[in-house]
Structure 1
Amino acid sequence: MVNFLNLEYFLVVAEELNFTKAAKKLFISQQSLSCHISKLENDLEVELFNRTVPLTLTPAGKSLVKNATKMLDLKKQSVKELVDIKDFKRGDLYIGISHTRGRAFLPEILPLYNEKFPSINLHLFEGNSKELDSALFRGNVDLIVGMLPFNVENVECVPLCNEEILMIVPDNILAKYFPDSYGIVKRKLEKEVDISLLKNCPFLMVNAKNSVRIVADEMFKEKQIKPNIILETESIETVLALSVKGMGITFYPKTLMNNKKLVFDENTLLGVNIYQLQYNKTHGTLAIGYQKNRYISQAAKEFINIAKKKYNAIT
């Protein structure tokens, strides 16, 4: 009979293709890990690895990687379902969310959730949009919170509220790049935002895996603009903080902008222009996503219910 622990250890070795590295990752001795893999091979009556340098998977090993992942995922879902059937007093909830979104969203939801369900263990996975999509696809999280669309197959989406990406333009940038037409350009932008006017200005951008950056890149492409990007970073808070200090133009979600405690106070906005964009994809929806083909635990359902009530979910 195949042991689940042996399967878990096998997948780590298959990922690392090195017994020493895999043993360190699992916090066990290399000898102990070798015994687990040998036991699995004996139970299945096949060799899973070619003991070469570097280590490689046999055809049987490659096949087991695919199926072991499915078996362990099914085991995880089954355990969740059995816990719900027994009693909804214990369990785990794995939530995927971006760093900045988490700072604005989670304080509104988790205190209420924890007060109502104190025995549910909460686990956060923080990453960019693509990392969150991948975590949901792999079953590493129960649900993710972010802007639609989620680029994962078979996702059920629960809308929470409207979202909008704003453009942040410091006054000093306009004065520097339009010394003879500052007033004219500013009035034009107030009347209708045309990013083509700003094509030579410096931009501060989050990296290409962030949903805000993806939308901005599409907008630049549609306008046939190659933006003057002077800085890229993982942190959307960093680009906002630098933008309000006058370093360049950036983009930022409206719901996060409303939470000014994130990175600045009211006085910091003096000399900063905040523009709404006339571009369809800058207007979207903040939502929760979970996979349709996976068991959705009671813990996850209750989290969604609290979030919907808090954000007055749109239909």
Structure 2
Amino acid sequence: MLYEKLNYVLAIAEERNLTRAAKRLFISQPTLTLYLNRLEAELGVKLFDRSKTPIGLTEAGNYYIGEMKKIYASEQLLRNDIKFIANPSQTLIVGIGQVRGHHWLPMILPTFCSIYPQVNVQVVQSTEQYLGQALHTHHMDLAFGALPASVSDLEVVELMHEKLFLAAHRKYGLIPSADRKQYSADNPYQISHTKLDGLPFIIPQVNNGLYDSYEKIVLNNEIHPSRTISVNNLNTGLELALKGLGVQLLSGSILQCDQNKRDFSEILDFCILEDMPQTRKCVAAYNGDSVKLKLILDFIRIVQNEVLPNCNYITVDS
């Protein structure tokens, strides 16, 4: 097929010299030249302009390489799907955030593995942004989280809405001392945005799904942090907030996953602003044409039946 020796064309394009490309491919230059001549004759176009030194891709050649890469990737997906159909003891690749995965996976996998003992599970714990990209490139079968809007063209199952609130050490005095006993993460105290202006913040990194919510809050309310500490792991951020290093935007999943089951209300004030988003949607997303569809749907059902009933700080979509 035309893409059987795509690596030949790629080597020529990258080396821009037939001799160097042949050496890289461990073949002779005449052999490589003969292959290129035959390919161009078969296509009826010139892929390379060999009248110049170094040689370069023509417009047709550049287009050819781009399309052949797509075809090659599709072929690899087809091969993987066929192998899975012939031998179901393959691998289900599941994406989930670090915090959510830490809490959810011990509840999901015992049941899933008892139903499908022959199926391997590969867990990828990363940012929601990466999970969305991996679904589109078919490097992942199923992903959970507050995924980006770009997954809307896939199959999406809405699971729940988890609470959002601001947490700050009591030393910042966001809640009056006399009122503190009335408020908690379950019942956060509403404050004016002016109380936050000029305070230090602990923020998620840009590729974290919670960053968009943080950015909207500070921009819409004209809040100017005196300093920011950017963290990749929001559990780390929570520990910093407990040390009084700044105000942190939290989702319910972060408190849910505290291994020590601490009473944070003894140290932290939990607050909301009048116009801030007070929940964020958590979904499961997957490709509807996947040959692993039964595995995917059963995995989601386990989440709905065994995980969500054991989560706090959420409302479950019916």
Q: TM-score range by the shorter chain?
A: 0.7 to 0.9
Structure 1 residues 268, 41: CA separation in 2 closer, same or farther (over 3 Å shift)? farther
Contact 1:80 1:297 in 2 (8 A): no
**Higher mean Cα deviation, 273-282 or 248-257?**
273-282
Structure 1 residues 201, 63: CA separation in 2 closer, same or farther (over 3 Å shift)? same
For structure 2, which runs of at least 5 residues remain unmatched after alignment? 17-22, 309-315
Contact 1:142 1:296 in 2 (8 A): no
Structure 1 residues 187, 101: CA separation in 2 closer, same or farther (over 3 Å shift)? closer
Structure 1 residues 39, 306: CA separation in 2 closer, same or farther (over 3 Å shift)? farther
CA drift of 1:34 comes to 9.8
Q: Which residue of 2 aligns with 1:314?
A: 317
- Letter of the aligned partner of 1:74 in structure 2? S
Q: Which residue of 2 aligns with 1:67?
A: 67
Q: Which residue of 2 aligns with 1:170?
A: 169
Distance 2:79 2:130 in 1: 25
Distance 2:73 2:112 in 1: 26
Contact 2:142 2:296 in 1 (8 A): yes
CA drift of 1:191 comes to 4.4
The CA deviation string for residues 37-65 of structure 1, in whole angstroms up to 9 with x for no partner, is 98985774377678999996553443234
CA drift of 1:237 comes to 1.9
- Letter of the aligned partner of 1:193 in structure 2? I
CA drift of 1:285 comes to 1.8
Contact 1:162 1:283 in 2 (8 A): yes
Q: Which residue of 2 aligns with 1:203?
A: 201
Structure 1 residues 18, 165: CA separation in 2 closer, same or farther (over 3 Å shift)? farther
Q: 2:279 aligns with which of 277, 283, 287?
A: 283
The CA deviation string for residues 103-162 of structure 1, in whole angstroms up to 9 with x for no partner, is 222222223222322332323333322222222222222222111553245122112222
- Letter of the aligned partner of 1:241 in structure 2? E
**How many percent of aligned residue pairs carry the same amino acid?**
20
Q: Secondary structure of 2:99's partner?
A: helix
Q: Secondary structure of 2:191's partner?
A: coil
Q: 1:194 aligns with which of 192, 195, 211?
A: 192
- Letter of the aligned partner of 1:288 in structure 2? A
Q: Which residue of 2 aligns with 1:132?
A: 131
- Letter of the aligned partner of 1:314 in structure 2? D
The CA deviation string for residues 206-260 of structure 1, in whole angstroms up to 9 with x for no partner, is 1122111110110111112222333112221221111112111111210231121
For structure 1, which runs of at least 5 residues remain unmatched after alignment? 20-28
The CA deviation string for residues 148-182 of structure 1, in whole angstroms up to 9 with x for no partner, is 553245122112222122211111233xxx8xx96
Q: Secondary structure of 1:266's partner?
A: coil
Would you say 1:247 and 2:245 are equivalent positions? Answer: yes
Normalising to structure 2: TM-score of the pair?
0.73
Q: Secondary structure of 1:192's partner?
A: strand
Contact 1:193 1:276 in 2 (8 A): yes
**Higher mean Cα deviation, 141-150 or 51-60?**
51-60
CA drift of 1:17 comes to 4.7
Distance 2:233 2:54 in 1: 37
Distance 1:58 1:96 in 2: 40
Contact 1:50 1:57 in 2 (8 A): yes
Alignment RMSD: 4.0
Distance 1:194 1:37 in 2: 71
Normalising to structure 1: TM-score of the pair?
0.74
Would you say 1:300 and 2:296 are equivalent positions? Answer: yes
* Count of paired positions: 294
Structure 1 residues 308, 314: CA separation in 2 closer, same or farther (over 3 Å shift)? same
